[in-house]
Structure formats: structure tokens, C-alpha cells
A and B are shown apart, each in its own frame.
Chain A
């Protein structure tokens, strides 16, 4: 290490400036910037192109012609609106996601409350079982659910009911993880304060704990909707064909056959719905937690809450 060769009082040599800039220990390495933005473009632009072709005026998904809403409702045969298979797929997807949210969220919230505070025999086993659906590959779950409905619980046939049961099964754990994270971060002090002020356990639970859990419950509902709408494997394994096929199943089979831009259109509709619901979940989360001490930006908090 040698000193700067030329030093003027109160100033710097250009060489020192340039070398300092290059060696700036906290500067952003240029190649990382390039990789990160290239990755983001790579991960998002193909989807935008797929959205673009859902508005193509011709039957091609590769050669752009002109803007048209033909594949949404214009085409009398093949548009999402007029093709019954596509329309049914959309309905089925919403049916499954809606039922999933309505049943899995309450079950998961109760389970999270129970697991967070229950310190007795059986809590360990219950906790252990809860974690497994998160790491079990979907195909293993698909096979096991198919076999249970065809071999043991034969009173439930494959189709909508079986699909809903399957979706709830893999959704519960996500709800538990999100709600328990929030329970952990709010601690026990509020309940204890409520009890101290004379609240009965029931009041403490419903008037203090549940309102505090609202952001997590809203976030969990958004997440459950998203993963249910995105699910392909469980829906496919428990589908009885025809009207029980969901949007992801439609996309899957259409992509493998001779596809039309109407597939892009239905995929776009589904994507927009999911993004709206997740954004609403995010805004609700922000609204409910706005007065609280922040550890990071809202986006980071939200990211943490959704890190599963």
C-alpha cells in the first residue's frame, strides 16, 4: 500500500479519485445489477408476451397481428365466454378457491391458535402432522388422495367435493404458518392486559386476539385463494373430467394439444384475478398494521409474512 503519489492541499489527484471509485468497498458491483435486472426481465417478460397474444386478432400465439378482444368474448365459438369448457373451467376454479378459503382459513386459524398456546400431550404430534403437507410433493399427495377416495372413502367420488377436500388439506398448513407467525410477533401481552382489565377468556379471545390477528387472517385468505387457483396436481388427480377441470388443467391440456389464444386469454383472466386478490390482501395487511412498529418497509414485512 503506497500513499497517493500526488497530493495537493485541499484537493485530490484524479488518479486517487478513480482508484477510490473502483475500490469503493460499498459500491454496487456492476455485474450483480445486470444479473438481477436480467433475471427480473426474464421472469416477467415472457408472461407479459403471453398476455399480449391473448389480445391477438388471429389464431396465432406467435405472430402478432392486431389488438382484439376476440378471444375473451368476441369469437362466437372459441372465446372464453362462448367456449363452454373454458367457461366451466373458470367457474370450477373459483368454486374450489372460494370453498377452500371459507373452510381452510377458519380451520387453520383455530389450529394455529391451538398449536401456539397448547403445551400438552399431543401438541407435538399435531404440530408435526401440520408441517408435513408443506414439504410433501404434490404428486405424493395426489396419489394418496386419489387412492383414499377410490379405495377407502368410496362414498366420496372424484370430482368437485373430492377436489375441495384435497385443496383444503394442503391449504390448512399455509394458514397455520401465516397466522402463527403473527401470533408469535404480537406475543401474549395483549391477552394478559385484557385479562388484567377483567375480560373473560372468551372476550379476550374474540375482542383482543382475533382483531389483532385480522391482518394475518386476510393475508392467509389471499394466499389460500392464490394457491388454490394455481393448483394443478391435486385438481387433476381428483378431477372426474369434463366440468371438474380447472383453469390450470385446461391450460395444461390445451398447451399440449393445438392451442388457441383463448388459452392465453383464460390464463390472463386467472392471473389478473389472483393478482388483484393478493394486492387487496397486501393493502389490507398494510392498513391493519399501519400503526405498528415497522421492522422494514411494508413490502418487506409482507414478503416475510408470505415466506412460507
Chain B
């Protein structure tokens, strides 16, 4: 197995009264691109800082390739960090920044020169050796920070929202670059971000964190399609949530009642009964013209608002059950078929509906408004 296996066992960090990280268990095999995703204050950065060695855990273990490094000081750990603001040393030029760690390790001069050269090549900054960090653009600073960390051949590279300070376009380009860089060097990347789209596009697997706990771990697809808690459903993209009463449950399918309409949903292994919630992604809601044959999982509604978001059209429909549901339809260029006030029929496919017990991870208010817009624009 590749180097850089991380295993966290009951890792806990308390600041004064607050439990920033609450007994989390996590296993990241070597060579994986793993993201910690969550809103600010969810404990993701604290977790990363404990792995880097900047914070001392209150309790728990940090196994790095099998040995516990929880109490090893940062300079003796085989992990390196790319900081949120890059933390390039302002008094050193690009060359000396990258050579910093090699000099601390007392490598011979010739070796330092060679390795710094290779690192610069890796991030395509050859020729920038004599520049000061203040003379570099944001993207270039980001690459220097990467080179500075990677030149030491760490087993794990920790990245703390490394693209946060860049503009949207550059961020997209660097996401792809970072991913291919990770595949090239083959070490573990532990990536901390609050941007769900970033986590979904780059990660092999990701963990969604909330309130110091891990809500769900899995591949991007699993976590997005199959959220296990309301929080995950809500944090990753836009979700339509509806109150429902369980009629019957099963691993193959469940039946729920929503204000008189009985709907079939996907099966669940969770133990739900009585009041529950059902979720559906906007892009999975199908709109049918009024008067289409009614059938299973179909609810009438009225178009309340239509928002043009570029690649798609967002249609807010007031369903007969009382909820306002958001549906996304592809912008095909044919104009908007649904005017405000038009009656429509909503089709909520059974395989897109998921039952979640009320109350678990039920903090949708944590989600900021900008995330709604971002994800709406991105979908």
C-alpha cells in the first residue's frame, strides 16, 4: 500500500468549553485524495491542524503509517501543509522558500539545488527563483506553497482551503491541476474545504463534518446521491425537504404519506417510523404539463417563481401538499415553458426520494445563503 495512511481514533480537541472536534474516527488509506467538508466551525480545520501538529489533541490517536504521532511536534512529522493564505515567508524569495525545509534537514547544497529545481518544474514555475512572494500572483503563490511542501517528500500533504483566496475561474483550473498533481506524486492529500463542489469534483472520498463530528464518509457520488443525514442532504447542494409520515418501511422501498399524497421512496436501512422527512434533489424533480395522466408519485402544483440561472432554469413550484419545491430544468435554449402561475404536475421519482429520520443532523440553518446560490448556479 502507498505511504501516507492516516487513521484517527477517537480524536478529540477541546478549547476551553467548546468541543471543536468530538471523538472522530477516520481512516484514509495511503495515496487517496480525501476531503474534509463542512461549514466553518465544524472542526475540519482543527482536525487538520492536529494532524499537522499545530494543535495538541485533548485525547485520541493520530496514526500515520501505523505509528501514533499525536504528541510528536510538527517539525518531526512526515506531513507538510499548504496554508490557507499560503504563508510564504515574505523575507525570502521563491528559491529560499522552497529550500527552507531542505536547509532545516541539512541537505547538501547540490542536492537542495536539484530538488528545488525539480519542485519548481513540477509546479511550472522554473525561472521564478529570485522573485519575492509579494511579486507573485495568487495562483503563483499557491504553486510555490505546493512546491515548498512537496519538495520534502511528505507522506501526507495537508491542504487547508488552499484555493479559498483565488477567483472562481482560477479556482476551477487549479482544482484540475491539483488533482492531477496528486495522481502524479501519488501521496495522500488531505483537503479541507467548505466548498461542496470543490470537494465533490476533486476527492476520491470525502467526509462531511458538522459540529465536531463526522456525519458521513464516502465517495462523492455516494454522499451526494445517498445522504445519510438531513445535514448532509442539505449541505451538499440544494435539497427539497418535506415532512412525511411513514406508512411502511423496507430495504427495497418505503411508502410515506405527505399531506394526503402517498409516495413511494427508495428503501432505507435506517430505523424510521412515525414522522420523518423526505428529500429530493432539484434536478431530479420532473415537471409535467398540467393535465398529464396522473400516476404514482405525482403531485399537482402551481409555478410560483421562475429564476434564470444560465445553464439551467430554476422553477419554484408550490405543491398541493403545501411545500414550495425547487426544480431545475436544463436550459435548452427553447425558452421557458413554465410561466409564473401555470399549473403543473410534479413527478417525484421513487428512486430519487429518500427517507431520513427527523432530528438527526437537523441543522439546515447552518447553510449560508451564498451556498444556495453557488450550488444552484453550479448544478
Query: Which residues does A use to contact B, with CB under 8 Å?
Result: 1-4, 7, 9-10, 12, 16-17, 19-20, 23-26
Contact = CB atoms under 8 A, between A and B. Distances in A.
Contact of A3 (B56, B59, B68): B68
Contacts of A10: 9-10
Contacts of B59: 12
B10 A4 contact: no
DSSP majority for the B interface?
Answer: loop
B54 A17 contact: no
A12 B58 CA distance: 11
B56 A4 contact: no
B71 A23 contact: yes
Contacts of A9: 9
23 contacts: A1-B76, A3-B67, A3-B69, A4-B67, A4-B71, A7-B61, A9-B9, A10-B9, A10-B10, A12-B71, A16-B70, A16-B71, A17-B71, A19-B71, A20-B56, A20-B71, A23-B71, A23-B73, A25-B54, A25-B73, A25-B74, A26-B55, A26-B56
Give the top 9 A-B pairs by smallest Cβ distance, nearest first: A20-B71, A3-B67, A23-B73, A1-B76, A4-B68, A25-B73, A16-B71, A24-B56, A25-B74
A17 B56 CA distance: 10
B66 interface: yes
Contacts of B71: 4, 12, 16-17, 19-20, 23
Contacts of B9: 9-10
Size range of the interface on B? 10 to 19
B66 A3 contact: yes
- Interface residues of A, dominant DSSP: loop
A24 B61 CA distance: 16
Contacts of A2: 67
Nearest to B57: A20
Contacts of A16: 68, 70-71
A16 to B, nearest CB: 5
B212 interface: no
B53 interface: yes
A25 B75 CA distance: 9
Given A9-B9, A16-B71, 10 more contacts: A1-B76, A1-B77, A2-B67, A4-B67, A10-B10, A19-B71, A25-B73, A25-B74, A26-B54, A26-B55
A24 B70 CA distance: 11
B72 interface: yes
Contacts of B72: 1, 23
A2 to B, nearest CB: 8
Contacts of A19: 71
Interface in B1-41: 9-10
A18 to B, nearest CB: 9
A23 B71 CA distance: 8
Contacts of A24: 56, 73
A39 B72 CA distance: 33
A116 to B, nearest CB: 26
A3 B63 CA distance: 9
A26 B50 CA distance: 12
Contacts of A26: 54-56
A20 B73 CA distance: 8
Contacts of B10: 10
A4 B10 CA distance: 17
Contacts of B76: 1
A2 B68 CA distance: 9
Nearest to A18: B71
Nearest to B53: A25
A3 B72 CA distance: 9
B70 A20 contact: yes
B74 to A, nearest CB: 6
A4 B70 CA distance: 9
Contacts of A1: 72, 76-77
A19 B53 CA distance: 14
A127 to B, nearest CB: 26
Nearest to A26: B54
Nearest to B61: A7
Contacts of B77: 1
A12 B53 CA distance: 17
A20 B59 CA distance: 12
Nearest to B77: A1
Contacts of B69: 3
Contacts of A17: 71
B75 to A, nearest CB: 8
Nearest to A11: B59
Nearest to B56: A24
A10 B9 CA distance: 8
Contacts of A4: 67-68, 71
